[in-house]
Chains A and B, each alone.
Chain A
């Protein structure tokens, strides 16, 4: 039966090629625009570390005084921790693993004269970082808490920087000069660039190759290395890095199972009260513990412009759909004579409905294929934007299939009303007027 309906659809579509082309074009444009933006959104809100995101949590404390107001134009100061609070949480050791960190930029001075000194971005972290995020090493490994405490001059390089400095030879054990200090390379990562770089200060750059080196936070504090994330202060005086009134550190904790999560939440609330007793944390207790994906959602990594573009594309699709409903309705009702003949010959309403449903789906498949092409064109143009997420704009298999499914669903939906109207045509009346 489907074969027959398919053949009918084909004949009908070929009979009015301009109308068919219009409908395919409309659905192709709508689907193409929507899928471009859905793909961008999809890749930007993906899970950067699928195997472990379930156990990773971000504690949210707000040490600001009541007088500090929220500024919608500036990054949220309470998204980060001060050195005092980060150290306290580290020392309390209430999670399975925990690490404090901050991004930074340092001057790399290559030993060979062929390379000029250059600035490189990386992260200052504590020992648990590597095992907690299951960071893949090509050679060597991370460091221990003891080495953290001794402020050791050690560094782990990411793939690109290791290759740039040492070529194909193993970098582990070599010396690299950062700012004015020699560091010993103790490990090289296997090109670890999670997208987004979820662990850092995502209010700045979250996508792209953000980190080429990792060194102990304590060492960076020692050597007064610059941090490049958002540093928000509300007090004045003293060293901002060690102050309890400047937030600039990110903190992650891994917790296995709901009991531990609950216990940690309890611990954070107790900590808040305890700090209040010491005259800090003026605000009412409101400790939060975000799961990784919830945290990324909270940090709104998708820029407002991208979301606006998505809504624009969906609005465009909606107009295209209304357009197609109208055109299909006209097309189907024009064939009232054919319908009434078929009905008079014994076709049930269901058959008519199915026949027109198949015709709508055929348009949907054609429109979907066109939309796929348009979406590829759209993604190509997104990749040429100078934004850090641009390189991610690629379709994976699920989005490819999603495009076709969306196109077929959209066109069948658009065909529902016209097909329903067509199948309600009464046989006798139509025959009479002929």
Chain B
């Protein structure tokens, strides 16, 4: 295939060729970034929470009478909840991964230090580890005599007296890099040491911010006694809906003086946490496909026009011995050249766009491998779009050359 005649023909349509290149440039730049944003969001939506997601059902309960001892009532409630058919275990907790109820503590490895690592605290009644399905990779679970009350009415007194903690691997590695965290002391407040007795492999925080700190979490043997707590039940996946209904009835029957909020499965918690990202991914997908579609329309439209314009010329070439596939390849090569020009410019623009997005929307840097993917997609798109007009061109009979217009 000779490029010379194609290039010289393109220079006679400078403006049109330029417009096509411009369109491919924009599309390439936007589509590369859109793909990247889709990938970033989906990977965040798929982060493992570290808990037995499809076996958990939970209900929030708000006390409206401050007179009762909440710890005693929680015990009674749990006994009743464990009695529901299908409930394997049940605990009271103050927060769960992705439920947005975040209580961050500044953690240090020496008392009264200046720099802190922010880690989310999870408090719960005995059996939390096993009910949530957390995976202990080092150390042990809490012992019964280690549990104390949160003492929320007096401003979380528990944090000054809690003897032990279980931390996530991510937090352990951040606090004690290169060594085992077991048996070490951490300080959550003032000079009171809290000993690390266990490490779990994964547990997301209630609210995600920075990917590097998403798993900075720790469990305390503190029984929640705030007016609002969450009852978590572990059950077989297909039992969750039924268990939730029965649990609501059981809780109201035991004590009507409370407001039950949002009975839901953990699957629903995750869905609602990522709902906006889900919407955004959908929109990005539609926008990306829409752009490719419009660009394909443009390429096909212009190719069609060029074929009609050059009917006579094609006829002459055919009459002089060019085969159908020569004509076909001519238009395909022409399209390849134009799209390639657009891709080269588009890659540069993709990076510029990514830099702007990094500045305003805290997006990470665009990985290089998105560029060949984007290029491949546009080349394919261009070839598909031009195929119809090119085939029509190849079908022009040589006799056209002899006819006058």
Contacts and interface: CB of A to CB of B under 8 A. Distances in A.
A417 B15 CA distance: 10
A316 B275 contact: no
Given A33-B287, A305-B276, A334-B309, A326 B64 contact: no
Contacts of A263: none
Contacts of A316: 30, 287, 290-291, 294
Interface string A54-95: 000000000000000000110000000000000000000000
B301 A330 contact: yes
A419 interface: no
Interface in B295-309: 295, 297-298, 301-302, 304-306, 308-309
Given A312-B284, A316-B290, A322 B302 contact: no
A319 B298 CA distance: 10
A116 interface: yes
B393 interface: no
B16 A330 contact: yes
A359 to B, nearest CB: 16
Interface stretch (A22-30, A155-163, A185-193, A215-223): A22-30
Contacts of A33: 287, 290
Contact of A25 (B34, B275, B279, B297): B297
A319 B301 contact: no
A93 B255 CA distance: 50
B62 interface: yes
Interface string B272-297: 10011001100110010011001101
Contacts of A294: none
Contact of A319 (B284, B294, B302): B294
Given A118-B259, A319-B26, A326 B19 contact: yes
Nearest to B213: A73
A318 interface: yes
B20 interface: yes
A117 B305 contact: no
A194 B178 CA distance: 56
Contacts of A12: none
Contact of B302 (A116, A309, A327, A417): A327
Given A33-B290, A319-B23, A434 B405 contact: yes
A117 B64 CA distance: 8
B45 to A, nearest CB: 14
Interface of A: 19, 22, 25-26, 29-30, 33, 72-73, 107, 109, 116-119, 304-305, 307-309, 312-313, 315-316, 318-320, 322-323, 325-327, 329-331, 334, 385-387, 417, 421, 434
- Please name the 4 residue pairs, one residue from A and one from B, whose CB atoms are nearest each other, closest first: A330-B305, A323-B298, A326-B19, A322-B23
